[in-house]
Amino acid sequence: MAASVLGVLFDGVAYGSLLFLISVGLSVTMGLMNFVNLAHGAFAMAGGYLCVALMQRAGMPFLATLPLVFLAIALVGAALERTLYRRLYDASHLDQVLFSIGLTFMAVAAATYVWGPNQQPVRLPGFLRGQIHPGGVDLGAYRLFLIGLVAATTLALHLLMAKTRFGARVRASVDNRAAAAGLGIPVDRIFVLTFALGTGLAGVGGAVGIDVLGLDPTFPIKYMVYFLLVVAIGGAGSIKGPALAALLLGVFDVAGKYYVPEAGAFIIYGLMLTLLAFFPRGLYGRKA
């Protein structure tokens, strides 16, 4: 019994870590630029497809593709920010929602056109497959890898935000954009860099997520709710909030499925409604 509880907890944390990795960029864009970007999942999908393409066409090993995926998707994100997104910073949330839904539809159709509607397979290296059994608990090797990767990324993000000049500027811009700009902080550049960072992380999330979440053209729509939930429950603009929210969601989802499979998808929505009823601005909401 204790072993099964630990196993479920472990799976939930791994799942939550993945959600966090993909969603953290969305949280920052929403907090920083006040932009509701429903197309965020499309960047994750692009990362996944790039990873598959690099492995299949160029024969690269799985782990080696990840840095490349990060850079490429970050560049794509920066380019889109420069050309399209920035025109809508002052637009209403409604316009932003429509714009990003439009982008999502285009991404879905384009992915179907290039890769077809089927699921893409990913072949993990041998040392990431199978399970290890410390103390009678079954731990999936890949899930362990996921947790490690995300923990390292989160630590790096935290240090970046807390200890560097860049981080200080981002925090200042989130708190008060106008004042930050008035103090001579190059808000424009901060926006591009943050957006690129967020999309790049989503790309990596999409790549390492293929094995857990799958990869097909409807990915951005299928998981849109989950990403939005992480941000809404966590509160936009922080790292702590989404991290906590993603872990909560992951653990509840997995535990719910293990112990009460009859309840199906209701657990996650129930959790969402309860949390939003008590914390309309999210667990770590900053602004009114």
Residue closest to 126 by CA, chosen among 53, 63, 68: 63
First to last CA, the chain: 44
Q: What is the distance between the alpha carbons of residues 170 and 188, in angstroms, rounded to a whole number?
A: 11
For residue 139, list its beta bridge partners: 132
Nearer to another protein, 58 or 106 (CB): 106
Please list every residue from 229 through 248 that binds another protein, using CB under 8 A.
229, 231-232, 236
Helical spans, DSSP H, in the chain: 2-33, 40-57, 62-83, 93-115, 141-163, 165-175, 177-182, 187-213, 219-222, 224-234, 240-259, 266-278
Name which of residues 179 to 198 contact another protein (CB under 8 A): none
State which of positions 121-140 bind another protein (CB under 8 A): 121, 129-131, 138, 140
Determine which residue in the list 8, 9, 160, 161 makes contact with another protein, applying CB under 8 A.
8
The site map against another protein for 80-119 (x = CB under 8 A) is ----x--xx--x-xxx-xxx-xxxxxxxxxx-xx---xxx
What token pair was written down for 140? Answer: 């999936």
Q: Is 239 helix (H, G, I), strand (E, B) or coil?
A: coil
**Of the residues 224, 243, 244, 247, which one makes contact with another protein according to CB under 8 A:** 224
Size of the site for another protein (CB under 8 A): 74
Which is closer to another protein, CB of 169 or CB of 246? 246
Q: Which tokens hold the place of 225?
A: 């709710």
**Residue 6 found at the interface with another protein (CB under 8 A):** no
Choices 61-69, 177-185, 205-213, 241-249 (CB under 8 A): range interacting with another protein: 205-213
Question: Which CB, 186 or 264, lies closer to another protein?
Answer: 264
